[in-house]
Structures are given as structure tokens and as C-alpha cells.
């Protein structure tokens, strides 16, 4: 809708409005909620209305205020302070029906600018998130007015500092003196070298954060590359996220490199070495099962959906060439609408490949669900290496296979499905079930299948009742371990496996509902490479919760 902004004397002017009737609303600040004034005006073409007086509605509720400093006691201006409710998602938008003001006031009551957008609901269905944000002023002070008496979480962020969070208990009392001490983001000093010779790379670019030019107050940032010229290949990068910092470097004649390091706030990590691989090329030939060249086939590193880098098309003779191939590339794929996808495995020494495309097989069947879930989609995950007929050796299916190798389509209302152009070989048939409407976890039904070229196979999946739960408490050194990814596979007599996944929260807890009863394999993988995955065997029981404590 049309908006305008009042000047320093609270005067406003809106021009260029088409004829019509308008309900006038006001917002205390940019990014604040829109409040009704009760004034309605009608305009004819060419008509002008002057002298309108808008009265700001009364705002009531709790006030939260405080000051923001760094670890050395220095004032931090332009920090974003967000008070949020519901699903505790910071930096969302305010609720349309919650008349709260978002005002950051300095000593002379001058209001600073706001960071945010129009009010609305942000969050998962059934879990609305109310979130209001202000900026600290030049004295480091912030003030949020108009919060209700429920519990709130306050989140503070600045592009140069680590985020801090604090919970406010429910109640009518104002909260004053809620001060925050922010620690500076990490810095890294290191060298860029030639991966094969160890010699320094003297000219390159590093990715770093800089203030967002569209938000100069300092609460947000953008990333861009900066040129570096140094005879020893040395560089320094500041304002890196903790505890894992991603260092990205690119240089002519080398493959772009990105490495992740563990870093600490208020600390500079030194002597980091980024080895740049010389750019290499990959050539290949794509033919069909009869030996005929396949022109215009799309070639990518990764899977058919192209989540990884590199893309080209085959020439009329079926040949192709890809530049700047990293040594980490494991597979190159070829896709064409007339064939099933094909691929070839890569090693760091691979310079030439041959890919054969087949017409593909047809997989059809029905997914029968026991009433508490709906079938979202059915797909086929192509396995690059054979599992020997045992699905357990293919689970948990690596994330890269789920992303790159799935051929999928929506399932009919009666659970029927039909998937064509499926690559011959061993694969996993996967049905995604949506049980969220019943308050349960999303589930995946898996069956190991063998696909033949130009053949049809029929597979029916029967999902048994799912009234069992799994609860895991994950710790590391006796303390809760967050961000651990859990995959739980239950083996039944009607399908090969029913798989669900979830991640641990700050309390280290993982809960998965809606599982059937049976033998259960739990695979726990921490984010990052600090700890090796842990596999636990247990059982789920009808109508009961299985509890499992896992220590890393």
C-alpha cells in the first residue's frame, strides 16, 4: 500500500495517489507495526486534502531497556535488538494484532532508525513468532516499549560482534538495566599457497564482511571479495563467525577454495594455510546404450539437479569439456530428457570419462498409510555403490545422495505412483510422509529395489501403525551437545525401513514421534568434523517412548 514518512516537524505528504478511499494508519518507526488512526478519506481525481491531523494511539505494555558494550567497555551503536516470542525466531516481524511500539531512544529522546520490515507473522504453522527490533543509539542505549506480559527472548546482533541472547520471564514489570556485553567476531591470519609446490600465491582475493550500504547503522552486512597482493601470500580476515569460520579464496589459474576453521571470539587465529589447487579440466564422451552419441546432454559436477559447480552441454558428437575441476569432485553427471540420468565417478587424477545413458526403467506401485499421515511424494534415490542387497549398509543415506540423486514426483491421492526414466541398477524407493497435521514427525518409507532398463517393476509399500517415540539425550563431556543430526531407521516386516530425522537443540534433546515398533538403528552425526558419528541399536515399542542417552 502507499506509504510516506513524516519529516522532523511531524509533517507528511503523500502524492500521486489514485482516486479511491483510504484508511490511514501510522507506524511509530520504520519497521514498526502499523496502528489504526480511525481516519478514512476519499479522494477524487485531481483532489488534494490538506490539514489532516493524525493522533498516535496510546501504547501500553512492558518496557525493556539497557545498554550494549563490548568486552572492553566501549559503547556499541547500531546493534540490532530483537525481542521475540513464539518459536523464538529472532529478527522476524511483529504481529499485526499486537500494538507495540519499536523505539530506540537516546538521552535527548531522539529516535534512531529502525532495521526491519512490515509487520506480519513469521514462523511454523501453529507457532506464530512475534518479533520487534530496534537499534542501539550512539550512547549504546536501547528501549523497546509495548511488550505484553508473556515470556520474551531478547537477541542482540551486530555485524562485527557475536550474537547474544537473553530470556525475560513473564510478568507485568518493566525490565531495565538489561545490559549486553558483545564479544568481537574472530579474525584469521594466514597464507595462500600452491597446493602442489607449496610456493606462495602472491595475488588472490579473499571474501570478507563489509557494512551493508543499504543499512549504514551497522546492524547488517554483505559479503564481497577483496584483492590481496603480498609476496608471501599473507592475508588477514576479520569479523568471522564463530565457532566455525569459512575462509574463501579465489585466484586466477586455481580452483576456488573454501575452508572451515574453529575460531573463538575476541581472538585472532594465526598461521592458517589455504592450499589452492591448480585448475584442471575434465573431458568426456556421452553415448547411449547402442553406442550413439548424445548431443545437448547437460553435464554437471554433482547430481542432475546441479547443486555443485560446473555446467555445460555435450556437442553434436557427444563430447564435452569442463574447466576448473576441484580435486574434491567425486562424480560428474549427464542428463537428457530422453534418457535416465547417468554418471561417472571421479578421482583427483581423472582427466577423461565416458558416460552411458539408458532409456531407463519404470517403477510403479501404491503407498498405503495407516490413516495418520499423507503421502507428499515418492522418489527413487540412485545408489552409486552397491549395498549388496542390504539396505542397512546404505543407511543413513548421505545428504549428498538425497540432494543429487533423487528422481521424484507427487503421489496420487490414493497413494498410487509411477516414476519413469529411472537409471538401471540398485536404488532406494523413498516415500515422504507428512504427519505434521497429527503432531508427529515427518517420516520416510524406504525399500531397496533393483531397476532394469526398459522394464517395469511394481512395488507396494504398507506403512504399519506408528505410535512409538524415540527420545535421545546427547552430551559431550557431560554437557548437552547441540546440533547433532539424528537419523532413526526402524526395520519392519512390511517395508525395509521407516526413517525419520531430527537435530538436537541447546539442551541436547532429540525427540522423534510417529515411529512404528521394531528394531531401530540410530545414527548420530555432529555438525562439523570434531567427532565421528555414533551408531546405536535399540528397539521401539508400541505406544511407548524409547529413551537413549548417548555421550560423545
For 282-357, CATH gives 2.60.40.1120
- φ/ψ (deg, to 5) at 492: -125, 175
- CA–CA separation, 521 and 536 (whole Å): 6
Q: Write down the architecture of domain 186-276 according to CATH.
A: Sandwich (2.60)
Beta bridge partners of 240: 186
Contact (CB, 8 A) for 69 and 182: yes
177's grid cell: 538495566
228's grid cell: 590481496
Does 243 sit behind a cis peptide bond, omega within 30 degrees of 0 on the bond before it? yes
- CA–CA separation, 126 and 519 (whole Å): 33
In the block, residue with C-alpha cell 511454523: 124
What is the DSSP-derived secondary structure letter of residue 402? H
pLDDT, position 396: 62
Q: List C-alpha distances in Å: 445 to 66, 262, 466.
A: 51, 37, 12
In the block, residue with C-alpha cell 519499536: 102
216 sits in the region (left: phi over 0; alpha: psi -120 to 50; else beta) called alpha
Contact (CB, 8 A) for 257 and 278: no
Contact (CB, 8 A) for 193 and 276: yes
Q: Which residue ranges make up each domain of the chain?
A: 186-276, 282-357, 361-462, 468-551
Same fold, 282-357 and 468-551: yes
- CA–CA separation, 533 and 523 (whole Å): 7
Contact (CB, 8 A) for 60 and 149: no
Q: What is the dihedral angle through the alpha carbons of 84, 86, 91, 95, rounded to the nearest 10 degrees? A: -90
Please list, in sequence order, all residues whose beta carbon lies within 8 angstroms of the beta carbon of residue 418, skipping any fewer than 6 positions away. 362, 363, 364, 409
For 468-551, CATH gives 2.60.40.10
pLDDT, position 205: 95
Q: How large is the C-alpha radius of gyration of the chain?
A: 29
pLDDT, position 354: 97
- CA–CA separation, 519 and 540 (whole Å): 6
Q: Write down the architecture of domain 361-462 according to CATH.
A: Sandwich (2.60)
In the block, residue with C-alpha cell 562424480: 331
> Comparing C-alpha atoms, which of 210, 201, 215 is closest to residue 256?
201
Q: List C-alpha distances in Å: 148 to 131, 132, 441, 443, 508.
A: 12, 12, 32, 37, 30
- CA–CA separation, 245 and 192 (whole Å): 16
Mean pLDDT by 10 residues, the chain (552 residues): 74 84 71 62 84 69 89 92 60 28 27 27 33 80 81 88 88 91 94 95 92 64 91 94 88 89 91 91 96 95 55 95 82 92 88 96 88 77 66 59 60 87 88 70 83 94 85 91 88 83 87 90 80 89 93 90
- φ/ψ (deg, to 5) at 243: -85, -5
Amino acid at each position: 500500500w502507499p506509504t510516506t514518512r513524516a519529516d522532523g516537524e511531524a509533517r507528511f505528504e503523500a502524492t500521486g495517489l489514485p482516486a479511491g478511499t483510504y484508511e490511514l494508519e501510522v507506524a511509530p518507526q520504520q519497521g514498526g507495526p502499523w496502528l489504526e488512526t480511525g481516519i478514512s478519506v476519499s479522494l477524487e481525481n485531481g483532489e488534494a486534502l490538506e490539514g489532516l491531523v493524525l493522533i498516535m494511539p496510546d501504547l501500553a505494555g512492558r518496557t525493556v531497556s539497557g545498554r550494549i558494550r563490548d568486552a572492553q567497555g566501549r559503547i556499541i551503536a547500531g546493534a540490532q535488538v530483537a525481542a521475540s516470542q513464539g518459536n523464538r525466531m529472532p529478527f522476524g516481524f511483529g504481529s499485526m494484532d499486537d500494538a507495540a511500539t519499536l523505539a530506540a531512544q537516546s538521552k535527548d529522546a531522539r529516535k534512531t532508525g529502525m532495521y526491519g520490515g512490515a509487520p506480519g507473522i513469521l514462523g511454523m504453522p501453529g507457532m506464530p513468532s512475534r518479533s520487534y527490533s530496534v537499534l542501539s543509539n550512539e550512547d549504546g542505549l536501547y528501549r523497546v516499549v509495548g511488550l505484553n506480559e508473556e515470556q520474551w527472548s531478547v537477541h542482540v546482533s551486530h555485524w562485527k560482534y557475536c550474537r547474544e541472547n537473553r530470556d525475560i520471564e513473564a510478568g507485568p514489570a518493566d525490565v531495565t538495566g538489561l545490559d549486553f556485553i558483545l564479544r568481537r567476531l574472530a579474525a584469521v591470519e594466514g597464507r595462500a599457497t600452491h597446493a602442489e609446490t607449496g610456493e606462495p600465491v602472491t595475488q588472490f582475493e579473499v571474501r570478507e564482511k563489509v557494512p551493508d550500504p543499504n543499512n549504514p547503522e551497522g546492524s547488517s552486512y554483505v559479503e564481497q571479495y577483496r584483492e590481496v597482493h603480498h609476496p608471501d601470500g599473507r592475508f588477514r580476515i576479520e569479523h568471522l563467525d564463530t565457532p566455525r569460520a569459512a575462509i574463501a579464496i579465489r585466484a586466477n589459474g586455481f580452483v576456488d577454495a573454501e575452508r572451515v576453521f574453529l575460531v573463538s571470539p575476541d581472538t585472532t587465529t594465526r598461521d592458517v594455510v589455504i592450499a589452492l589447487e591448480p585448475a584442471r579440466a575434465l573431458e568426456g564422451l556421452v553415448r547411449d546404450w547402442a553406442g550413439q552419441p548424445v548431443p545437448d546432454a547437460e553435464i554437471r559436477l554433482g547430481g542432475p539437479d546441479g547443486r555443485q559447480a560446473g555446467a555445460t552441454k555435450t556437442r553434436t558428437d557427444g563430447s564435452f569439456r569442463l574447466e576448473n575441476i576441484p580435486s574434491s569432485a567425486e562424480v560428474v553427471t549427464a542428463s537428457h530428457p530422453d534418457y535416465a540420468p547417468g554418471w561417472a565417478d571421479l578421482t583427483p587424477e581423472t582427466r577423461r570419462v565416458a558416460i552411458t545413458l539408458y532409456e531407463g526403467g519404470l517403477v510403479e506401485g501404491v503407498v498405503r498409510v495407516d490413516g495418520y499421515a499423507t503421502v507428499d511424494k515418492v522418489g527413487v534415490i540412485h545408489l552409486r555403490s552397491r549395498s549388496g542387497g542390504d539396505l542397512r549398509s546404505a543407511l543413513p543415506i548421505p545428504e549428498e545422495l538425497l540432494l543429487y540423486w533423487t528422481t521424484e514426483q507427487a503421489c496420487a491421492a490414493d497413494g498410487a505412483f509411477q516414476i519413469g526414466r529411472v537409471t538401471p541398477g540398485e536404488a532406494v524407493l523413498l516415500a515422504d510422509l507428512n504427519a505434521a497435521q497429527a503432531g508427529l514427525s515427518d517420516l520416510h518409507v524406504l525399500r531397496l529395489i533393483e531397476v532394469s532398463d526398459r522394464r517395469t517393476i511394481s512395488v507396494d509399500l504398507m506403512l504399519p501403525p506408528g505410535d512409538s517415540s524415540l527420545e535421545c539425550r546427547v552430551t559431550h563431556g557431560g554437557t548437552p551437545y547441540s546440533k547433532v543430526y539424528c537419523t532413526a531407521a526402524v526395520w519392519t516386516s512390511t517395508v525395509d525401513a521407516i526413517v525419520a530425522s531430527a537435530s538436537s537443540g541447546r539442551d541436547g534433546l532429540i525427540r522423534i514421534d510417529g515411529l512404528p515398533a521394531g528394531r531401530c538403528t540410530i545414527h548420530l552425526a555432529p555438525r562439523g568434523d570434531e567427532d565421528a558419528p555414533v551408531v546405536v541399536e535399540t528397539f521401539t515399542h508400541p505406544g511407548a517412548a524409547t529413551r537413549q542417552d548417548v555421550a560423545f
